[in-house]
């Protein structure tokens, strides 16, 4: 005990030296935050119209020395109570016996010694006052034991804000005892640098205790059995350090439902210790402390609403906490890298994980947490990549369960997408599915290979390409050769192309018939007019080039001869390049269409047009055939002859 006293004495010294640093803004906060239970003004209309912080020019000092801020039958508010007018105040208050109408008393700027303050309290205690508020009580000197008479009171709630003890040497218990043993339901001692409070000496009626913004430590209410009716305990902004100690503090508070431990210095190292929380505790605020993952090993079993906002939690360990009743969990402003699962929280309905470090939250969340109605996951540094797609789809599937969508959900990485809402971030299915991408690429390659193979094998494209190249080369060479050479451009009336197997017919029938007749048709055969030193292809091209017409002797043999086909190709090529109608087709024997290879599509097209001369089997018809053929050749015969003679000149 003596050790404790010394300790408190030391703390009081500290409090004394720093009390005047407390600024007005702190008081403002108190008036708003702690006044929920004890509003300053109340329902009185008249009072609402009065300024709380009056100026002296508006309120004149009475001859008693205090300032009246409010004076109605139900409530009285006075300021500037000093040692010189405190006797008068006590005399005034003793008029309001129990049963009178005055309910609310507020005293502000009280500067009296301890004994005078106790006299005020004692008088109020036996009056009709139900709500007693004091604000800014200073100059408390000569603190000594006061025999307080707790009998017969109307008091329901006592609120003290900013009581600053200026006494240096006193017995702490003499001060705390007075308040600890008050048999009322509601008590607030806020912003008073209070370092301790005693356990009530007998069963207490306290249901609500608010010690906001003091210097209370882990020693508070340890082993205290007499707060069995306490339902709400607010210890926000104090100096608690051990979560285990806090839990053991609550262990004997059988009715405790709400505990606010926010803004303390709480830690929990996760050593194998039991945390004996009150079983009745349903709502626990542990926000703004220094708790890490181990906190999940020290939580009240029946908690329904839990805030761990602004701590240092990086992960919710699986299997550590089994909180069957937990409905609301606030993990905002921590260091979570992913969404927690619900394995330990089967009843979870609301989860807040805003402002954590989640780059790509997993999308399995709603599967593992089917009862969650609302997930608040905005303001995380989302990395907009393929992996995030699943999470974005999650929002669509969840049907509006993502709170703050879309505004609170923005890309943080990569840099180029920073600030883009997740809602507007799209990647194609292909870009994100490697398997699909590979299959597609493979299919495209196969298709290309197939196309090339088709062109090569079926349409003989490489050959055509080579030959076309040769054709243009020959033409080019011809253009650049000396002019004398060019005169030989047209030497023949016709070029004949035929299969070697049809050569008897050509030599015995065609050539004699054409060359012998009148007009003397000159024919170019590539074997006969062969120019040594040139390739076969070049010879063929030459022959075609030097002839007005090209005669093709079509037969099944012709179709099967590759060379003939190429000759036809060249002739056709010339036909197109010079736009003259120089092809003459002779059908020596009928060719069944199936016999023509598919790639000879030009031949097929020509055959289909039926613009060929058929070689008649009957002798009688042959005269007409020759006449026809000659006519076809000799359309240009005269002109050709003219040209021929010009050239030979
Ligand atoms: C007295 O104070 C209480 C609590 O602050 C309030 O509810 C009540 O309305 C007040 N009564 C009057 C008459 O101002
Ligand atoms: C309050 O007002 C009544 C009359 O309206 C007056 O008699 C009484 O002295 C006033 N009380 C104080 C403390 O000024
Ligand atoms: C208390 O005293 C301070 C400083 O003298 C003054 O500014 C303030 O208005 C007073 N408060 C009331 C309610 O009288
Ligand atoms: C508290 O009251 C004292 C006088 O009683 C006054 O000098 C001081 O300024 C007041 N402080 C505030 C914050 O109102």
- For the chain, which residues make up each domain, given as ranges? 23-40+57-170, 489-648
Measuring from atom 13 of ligand 4, which residue has the nearest CA? 24
pLDDT at 481: 59
Please report which confidence band the pLDDT of residue 55 belongs to, taking 50, 70 and 90 as the band edges: very low
Pocket residues: Cβ below 6 A from ligand 3: 53, 67, 79, 108-109
Going from the Cα of 103 to the center of ligand 2, the distance in angstroms, rounded, reads 15
| Residue 521, both tokens | 């048709």
Going from the Cα of 189 to the center of ligand 2, the distance in angstroms, rounded, reads 29
Please report which confidence band the pLDDT of residue 22 belongs to, taking 50, 70 and 90 as the band edges: very low
**Does the domain formed by 489-648 have CATH 3.40.50.10140?**
yes
Going from the Cα of 354 to the center of ligand 1, the distance in angstroms, rounded, reads 39
Going from the Cα of 265 to the center of ligand 3, the distance in angstroms, rounded, reads 33
Going from the Cα of 41 to the center of ligand 1, the distance in angstroms, rounded, reads 7
Q: Is 25 near ligand 4, meaning CB less than 6 Å away?
A: no
CA neighbor of 236 nearest in space, from 181, 165, 188, 180:
188
Atom of ligand 3 nearest to the CA of 52: 13
Q: What is the mean pLDDT of residues 293-304?
A: 94
pLDDT at 141: 77
Measuring from atom 9 of ligand 3, which residue has the nearest CA? 53
CA neighbor of 551 nearest in space, from 506, 589, 590:
506
CA neighbor of 311 nearest in space, from 326, 321, 296:
296
* Burial degree of 8 (CB within 10 A; 0-12, 13-18, 19+): buried
Q: Which ligand is nearest to the CA of 37?
A: 1
Going from the Cα of 121 to the center of ligand 2, the distance in angstroms, rounded, reads 20
Q: What is the mean pLDDT of residues 452-476?
A: 74
CB 291 within 8 A of CB 318: no
pLDDT at 430: 74
Could you report the per-residue pLDDT of 477-524, keeping only the tens digit for each? 666 655 444 444 677 778 888 888 888 888 888 888 777 765 567 777
Going from the Cα of 97 to the center of ligand 2, the distance in angstroms, rounded, reads 16
Q: pLDDT at residue 53 above 70?
A: no
Phi/psi at 69 (5° precision): -95, -35
Q: What is the mean pLDDT of residues 536-542?
A: 74
As a dihedral over the C-alpha atoms of residue 626, residue 628, residue 633, residue 639, rounded to 10 degrees, the angle is 120
- E-strand spans in 170-299? 186-190, 208-210, 232-234, 258-260, 283-285
Q: The pTM is what?
A: 0.66
Three-state SS for 572-599 is: HHHHHHHCCCCEEEEECCCCCHHHCCCC
pLDDT at 14: 37
Mutate to test the pocket of ligand 4, among 53, 109, 140 (most ligand atoms within 8 A of CB): 109
Q: pLDDT at residue 28 above 90?
A: no
Alpha-carbon gap, residue 310 to 263, rounded angstroms: 9
Atom of ligand 2 nearest to the CA of 62: 14
Q: Regarding beta strands 104-111 and 374-376, do their DSSP bridges make them parallel or antiparallel, or are they unpaired?
A: unpaired
Mutate to test the pocket of ligand 4, among 79, 135, 138, 191 (most ligand atoms within 8 A of CB): 138
Q: Is 109 near ligand 4, meaning CB less than 6 Å away?
A: yes
Tell me what the pLDDT averaged over the chain comes to.
80
Q: What is the mean pLDDT of residues 390-417?
A: 87
Q: What is the mean pLDDT of residues 67-79?
A: 93
Going from the Cα of 131 to the center of ligand 1, the distance in angstroms, rounded, reads 7
Q: pLDDT at residue 91 above 80?
A: yes
Q: pLDDT at residue 15 above 70?
A: no
Q: pLDDT at residue 408 above 80?
A: yes
Could you report the per-residue pLDDT of 224-244, keeping only the tens digit for each? 999 999 999 999 999 999 999
pLDDT at 641: 52
Mutate to test the pocket of ligand 3, among 22, 65, 108 (most ligand atoms within 8 A of CB): 108
The number of beta carbons lying within 10 Å of the beta carbon of residue 408 is 17
Measuring from atom 4 of ligand 4, which residue has the nearest CA? 109
Q: pLDDT at residue 574 above 80?
A: no
pLDDT at 531: 73
The number of beta carbons lying within 10 Å of the beta carbon of residue 11 is 18
The DSSP H or E segment spanning 33 is: helix 24-33
Mutate to test the pocket of ligand 2, among 71, 92, 96, 104 (most ligand atoms within 8 A of CB): 71
Mutate to test the pocket of ligand 3, among 60, 79, 107, 133 (most ligand atoms within 8 A of CB): 79
């Amino acid at each position: 005990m003596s050790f404790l006293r010394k300790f408190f004495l030391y703390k009081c010294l500290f409090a004394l030296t720093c009390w005047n640093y407390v600024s007005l803004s702190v008081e403002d906060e108190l008036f708003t935050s702690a006044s929920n239970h004890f509003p300053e003004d109340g329902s009185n209309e008249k009072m609402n119209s009065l300024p709380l912080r009056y100026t002296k020019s508006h309120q004149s000092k009475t001859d008693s020395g205090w300032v009246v801020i409010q004076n109605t039958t139900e409530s009285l508010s006075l300021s500037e109570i000093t040692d010189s007018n405190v006797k008068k105040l006590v005399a005034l208050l003793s008029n309001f016996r129990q049963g009178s109408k005055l309910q609310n008393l507020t005293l502000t700027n009280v500067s009296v010694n301890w004994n005078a303050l106790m006299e005020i309290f004692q008088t109020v205690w036996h009056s009709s006052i139900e709500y007693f508020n004091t604000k800014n009580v200073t100059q408390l000197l000569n603190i000594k034991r006061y025999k307080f008479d707790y009998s017969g009171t109307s008091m329901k709630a006592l609120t003290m804000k900013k009581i600053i003890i200026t006494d240096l040497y006193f017995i702490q218990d003499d001060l705390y005892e007075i308040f600890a043993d008050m048999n009322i339901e509601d008590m607030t001692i806020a912003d008073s640098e209070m370092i301790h409070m005693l356990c009530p000496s007998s069963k207490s009626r306290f249901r609500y205790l608010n010690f906001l913004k003091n210097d209370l430590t882990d020693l508070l209410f340890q082993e205290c059995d007499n707060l069995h009716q306490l339902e709400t305990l607010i210890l926000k902004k104090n100096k608690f350090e051990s979560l285990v100690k806090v839990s053991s503090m609550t262990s004997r508070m059988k009715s405790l439902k709400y505990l606010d431990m926010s803004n303390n210095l709480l830690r929990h190292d996760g050593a194998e210790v039991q945390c004996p929380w009150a079983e009745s505790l349903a709502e626990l605020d542990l926000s703004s402390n220094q708790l890490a993952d181990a906190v999940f090993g020290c939580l009240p079993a029946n908690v329904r609403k839990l805030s761990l906002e602004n701590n240092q939690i990086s992960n919710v360990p699986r299997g550590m906490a089994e909180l069957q009743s937990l409905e609301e969990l606030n993990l905002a402003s921590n260091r979570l890298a992913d969404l927690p699962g619900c394995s330990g929280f089967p009843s979870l309905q609301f989860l807040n994980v805003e402002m954590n470090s989640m780059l790509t939250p997993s999308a399995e969340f709603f599967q593992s947490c089917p009862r969650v109605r609302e997930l608040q996951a905005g303001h995380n540094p989302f990395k907009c990549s393929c992996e995030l797609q699943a999470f974005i789809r999650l929002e669509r599937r969840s049907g509006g369960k993502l709170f703050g969508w879309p505004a609170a959900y923005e890309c943080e990485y990569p840099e180029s997408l920073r600030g883009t809402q997740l809602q507007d971030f799209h990647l194609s299915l292909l870009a994100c599915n490697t398997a699909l991408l590979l299959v597609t690429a493979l299919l495209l390659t196969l298709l290309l290979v197939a196309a090339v193979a088709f062109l090569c094998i079926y349409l003989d494209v490489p050959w055509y390409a080579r030959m076309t190249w040769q054709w243009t080369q020959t033409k080019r060479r011809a253009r650049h050769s000396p002019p004398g050479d060019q005169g030989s451009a047209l030497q023949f009336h016709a070029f004949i192309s035929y299969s070697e197997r049809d050569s008897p017919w050509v030599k015995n029938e065609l050539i004699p018939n054409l060359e012998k007749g009148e007009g003397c048709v000159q024919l170019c055969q590539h074997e006969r007019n062969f120019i040594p030193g040139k390739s076969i292809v070049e010879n063929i091209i030459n022959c075609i080039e030097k002839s007005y017409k090209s005669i093709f002797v079509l037969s099944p043999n012709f179709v099967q001869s590759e060379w003939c086909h190429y000759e036809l190709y060249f002739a056709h090529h010339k036909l197109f390049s010079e736009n003259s109608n120089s092809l003459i087709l002779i059908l020596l024997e009928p060719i069944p269409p199936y016999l023509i290879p598919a790639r000879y599509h030009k031949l097929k097209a020509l055959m289909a047009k039926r613009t060929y001369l058929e070689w008649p089997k009957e002798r009688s018809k042959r005269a007409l055939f020759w006449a026809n053929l000659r006519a076809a050749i000799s359309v240009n015969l005269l002109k050709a002859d003219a040209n021929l003679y010009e050239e030979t000149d």
